[in-house]
Chain A
Amino acid sequence: MNAPWKQFLCRACGLIYDEEKGDPDSGIAPGTRFEDIPADWVCPLCGVVKADFEPYDNSLALTATCATSRVVRETGIVIVGAGCAGWAAAEAVRALDAHVPITMISACAGDRYHKPELSIALSRGATPDKLVREKAADAALRLGIRLLNDTVVVGLSPGLHQIRTTRGSFRYTGLVLAQGARPAVPAVLPADLCWRINDLASWSGLSQRLRGPVKHVAIVGAGMVGCELAEDFARSGHQVSLLDTQAAPLASLLPPAAAERLKHSLENLGVRFLGAVQVAAVTRGENGRKQIVTACGQILEADEVVAATGLVTDSRIARIAGLAYERGVVVDPATLRSSAPDVYALGDCISLNGMPCRFIEPIAHQASVLARGVLGLAAHEGYRHRPPVIRLKTRLLPVVIEGLPVAGGEWRVISEDADFLAMEQWSAGSLQARLNVGTPRRQLAA
């Protein structure tokens, strides 16, 4: 039996003489053993002589490869999202580390503004320029961060510490997801006919339309944002219809007595509330106005339609990256770390114990805890979530809720007069929430 073919390596240029293949160009037939090659044969590549070849053992290749460990290079912190949460994270990380490279990726312009102001801005005569507190480029310069705006994240591979965007791929040592939440709009409210007021750009678009003559605006959804927008647009002189599947505004949060007061207060401003209706379709009429048809057969014509039907966290990035997701990116309630190493999240996109929390107040605390984690510093104290105080920014009838009302809890009236209603919700013997609706008379007098 023939001995296996051997290979010989040119020590000068690395060419490999393979006995099986020979060197036909130099007249050495395939199958010529190395020792049978004439002594005057030279390397076909570099011309050195036969004696400069040495046996080559290809099987070493794999062991040599495995012997080298993988090198992870410093690549810095990448923050996805330039809303309140993203900027808070950037501030917190920079406060702890003056030098770490920070890259911020934002699908929008990234200018800093206070999102809750959008739902009360029109009647205050705000403009997009006035709402911006700091331009993105200025904030990036001040904090020493690289900003990629109008850039969308399209892929995330936690195992590789790689994030992919519409402007290229980046490696990170720590990643912060602050992507926020997007409007949850039912299919009957088409995107090309219905506004969703969830960022400065969309607010700017709608406010442009609402300048000038009186318009009829139909708002679908009487949650917090729907109620605030209804008051704001009515105060700006527009004709407003507010539609909801429930019989009263904010009915999922407020007991009937409180919701009724809110309804009256909105109606006093001229808002037409249509309760217990289901929108079946929104279409564009021949006159260019929008027609809303309800399941019960009512037809409403409006110049503008606004969907205020709640928010949902986009699950795409979490799904692609294999992050645990339950109504939001699942994070450790103490550290805000996601299920993947070195990936943290805060703000509207997370869920804590299965619950999203879409308010501004907790963000600053979340950012300071998260910053330590993402920089690999020992935590001083973990994050402790408390339900934020909920304030409905309706000026005529302020509504404040402390604690988190639960379904089926018992509401008790604490004090009540024509301008003010104080209630408490109790469940299983413990106080769940306090509610104040309106302003007590003595404060009004003061």
Chain B
Amino acid sequence: MNPADATPLIFDASWSDSQVMERVTTIADGALADAAYRIDHEGHYPLDLMGSLGEAGAFAAHLDMNGARYGLALDAMRAISRRCGSTGFLAWCHDVCGLYMEQSGNPALTGTVLRDHALGLSFGGTALSNPMKALAGIEKMLLRATKVPGGYRVSGALPWVSHIARGQYCGAIAGVMKDDGSRSHEIMFLLRFTEDVVLRPCPEFSGMEGTSTWGVRLDDYFVGEDTLIADPARPFISRIRAAFVLLQAGMAVGVTQGCIDSMREVEPLLGHVNQYLHDRPQELQAEYDELGARVSRLALTPYDGSKDYLLEVLDARTQGAELALRASQSALLHQGARGYLMHSAPQRRIREAHFIAIVTPAIKHLRWEMARLSKEEMPA
């Protein structure tokens, strides 16, 4: 091979989609697949692999500076999630954090800082579970901000935030309180996990333990201009909401694909009895293909601000979660006892699919939101 043709080691915007996917798939099918058990069972937080995936371009493709290739970002997340759902979730956290930083337009959050993030040289996630639900009217906003000279002071606690650690960061939203105690608006900022922030270990979850998930407490944490993502936050959230949700579809299709792999794996051995099961691999494959095609089309216009587009994205995300649930259940039934073994992928994927179904926006939130968006407004 001519050395000049070799792919350089670190992603840049000139890389083609296939160059990125070749590198990402190599890591996912190799080192990541090997580490999946450790990540799931020992709670290993695979920052080393996240770094390699970052260098391969897995977390950079969707950014405007790299051509807003949402289809490629989703495909990378699919390839990762196919081997390890936890790492697929980390990929999503990392992707949306990059999205916040770039779309903020804040010079302090773009440039080198964003480049390092996109290439997996630094790491950060998202703490938008509560605010997304709060803005949809499902629950109350947990972080409260008050205006002070030069910025805001933020206090409050979030129960679980993933892909964070000392020296890392995440996007967060706080409600700004007026003197009378009412909320005037919301701000969005990059929360840096300095010594000022209390990180509290979470109770043990049934899965996704390798995602470095912590309880976060802020006590008069200062938010200055250099960390503001959006003030006010609502117009910003409206702009990025569809992209935020659409990217999650990558986790759902990846886990589903892993499940179909597991069914096919035992087909030569067990096909004679598995034929009596429903949700056979070819049925799930047909739905996977159909959903995948729709997601690819939606990925072409992630900033389409229309209600119809958002509804389609929410529908695809919901369908992805439902499909992953069905596929994981069926994969275990197809594999039988071997799928029930502690080290087997099918039993792990059941918990991964459950996570996809309950992570914000959960299936129930998605349906709530679709119903809300579909309501006709009448004179009050």
A positions within 8 Å CB-CB of B = 9, 13-15, 45, 56-58, 60-62, 64-68, 70-71, 73, 107, 150, 152, 154-155, 157, 159-160, 162, 164, 166-169, 182, 191-196, 202, 205, 304-305, 316, 320
- Determine if B275 and A68 form an interchain contact, defined as CB atoms under 8 angstroms apart: yes
- Determine if B278 and A57 form an interchain contact, defined as CB atoms under 8 angstroms apart: no
- Determine if B338 and A60 form an interchain contact, defined as CB atoms under 8 angstroms apart: no
Q: Using a Cβ cutoff of 8 Å, how many contacts connect chains A and B? A: 100
Q: What residues of chain B lie closer than 8 Å to A202, measured between beta carbons? A: 376, 378
- Determine if B282 and A68 form an interchain contact, defined as CB atoms under 8 angstroms apart: yes
Q: How large is the interface on B (under 10, 10 to 19, 20 to 34, 35 or more residues)?
A: 35 or more
- Determine if A192 and B379 form an interchain contact, defined as CB atoms under 8 angstroms apart: yes
Besides A160-B287, A166-B370, A195-B379, 14 new A-B residue pairs in contact (Cβ under 8 A), listed by A number: A62-B264, A64-B267, A64-B268, A65-B282, A68-B271, A70-B280, A150-B371, A155-B315, A162-B287, A167-B367, A192-B380, A195-B378, A196-B378, A316-B308
**Separation in Å of the B308 CB from the closest CB of chain A?**
6
Q: What residues of chain B lie closer than 8 Å to A150, measured between beta carbons? A: 371
Q: What residues of chain A lie closer than 8 Å to B270, measured between beta carbons? A: 14
Which residue of A57, A166, A169 contacts B319 across the interface (Cβ within 8 Å)?
A169
Q: Does B273 contact A (CB under 8 A)?
A: no
Q: What residues of chain B lie closer than 8 Å to A56, measured between beta carbons? A: 268
Residue in A closest to B376 when the chains form the complex, CB atoms: A191
Q: Considering the complex of A and B, which 5 residue pairs feature the smallest CB-CB distances, nearest first?
A: A191-B377, A155-B315, A152-B374, A60-B268, A154-B315
Q: What residues of chain B lie closer than 8 Å to A193, measured between beta carbons? A: 379
Q: List 28 A-B contacts (CB under 8 A).
A: A14-B270, A56-B268, A57-B268, A61-B264, A65-B271, A65-B282, A68-B271, A68-B275, A68-B280, A70-B280, A70-B283, A107-B374, A152-B371, A154-B314, A155-B312, A155-B316, A159-B286, A160-B287, A166-B370, A166-B374, A168-B367, A192-B379, A192-B380, A195-B379, A202-B378, A205-B378, A305-B379, A320-B312
- Determine if A304 and B315 form an interchain contact, defined as CB atoms under 8 angstroms apart: no
**Separation in Å of the A187 CB from the closest CB of chain B?**
13
Q: Does B265 contact A (CB under 8 A)?
A: yes
Residue in A closest to B274 when the chains form the complex, CB atoms: A68
Q: Does B281 contact A (CB under 8 A)?
A: yes
Q: What residues of chain B lie closer than 8 Å to A166, measured between beta carbons? A: 367-368, 370-371, 374
- Determine if B318 and A164 form an interchain contact, defined as CB atoms under 8 angstroms apart: yes
Cα A193 to Cα B377 in complex, Å, equals 9
- Determine if A65 and B264 form an interchain contact, defined as CB atoms under 8 angstroms apart: yes
Q: What residues of chain A lie closer than 8 Å to B322, measured between beta carbons? A: 168-169
Majority SS at the chain B contact face = helix
Cα A182 to Cα B376 in complex, Å, equals 10
Q: What residues of chain A lie closer than 8 Å to B379, measured between beta carbons? A: 192-195, 205, 304-305
- Determine if A73 and B318 form an interchain contact, defined as CB atoms under 8 angstroms apart: no
Cα A156 to Cα B280 in complex, Å, equals 21
Q: Does B311 contact A (CB under 8 A)?
A: yes
Residue in A closest to B269 when the chains form the complex, CB atoms: A14
Q: What residues of chain A lie closer than 8 Å to B341, measured between beta carbons? A: 45
B positions within 8 Å CB-CB of A = 264-271, 275, 278, 280-283, 286-287, 290, 308, 311-312, 314-316, 318-319, 322, 337-338, 341, 367-368, 370-371, 374, 376-380
- Determine if A61 and B278 form an interchain contact, defined as CB atoms under 8 angstroms apart: no
**Separation in Å of the B316 CB from the closest CB of chain A?**
8
Residue in B closest to A314 when the chains form the complex, CB atoms: B308
Q: What residues of chain A lie closer than 8 Å to B371, measured between beta carbons? A: 150, 152, 166
* Contact flag A192-B377 (CB < 8 Å), given A9-B269, A68-B275, A164-B318: yes
- Determine if A61 and B268 form an interchain contact, defined as CB atoms under 8 angstroms apart: yes
Which residue of A15, A73, A194, A205 contacts B338 across the interface (Cβ within 8 Å)?
A15
**Separation in Å of the B293 CB from the closest CB of chain A?**
10
Q: What residues of chain B lie closer than 8 Å to A320, measured between beta carbons? A: 312, 315
* Contact flag A154-B311 (CB < 8 Å), given A162-B287, A192-B379: yes
Cα A32 to Cα B306 in complex, Å, equals 59
Q: What residues of chain B lie closer than 8 Å to A67, measured between beta carbons? A: 271
Cα A439 to Cα B108 in complex, Å, equals 79
**Separation in Å of the A428 CB from the closest CB of chain B?**
42
Q: What residues of chain A lie closer than 8 Å to B311, measured between beta carbons? A: 154, 316
- Determine if B378 and A13 form an interchain contact, defined as CB atoms under 8 angstroms apart: no
**Separation in Å of the A200 CB from the closest CB of chain B?**
13
Q: What residues of chain A lie closer than 8 Å to B337, measured between beta carbons? A: 13
Residue in A closest to B318 when the chains form the complex, CB atoms: A164
Cα A70 to Cα B284 in complex, Å, equals 10
Cα A305 to Cα B286 in complex, Å, equals 50
- Determine if B308 and A70 form an interchain contact, defined as CB atoms under 8 angstroms apart: no
**Separation in Å of the A25 CB from the closest CB of chain B?**
11
Most buried by B among A66, A152, A192, A196: A152
Cα A62 to Cα B264 in complex, Å, equals 7
Q: What residues of chain A lie closer than 8 Å to B290, measured between beta carbons? A: 157, 159-160
Cα A30 to Cα B202 in complex, Å, equals 39
Cα A56 to Cα B282 in complex, Å, equals 23
Cα A152 to Cα B267 in complex, Å, equals 38
Cα A24 to Cα B190 in complex, Å, equals 45
Q: What residues of chain B lie closer than 8 Å to A305, measured between beta carbons? A: 379
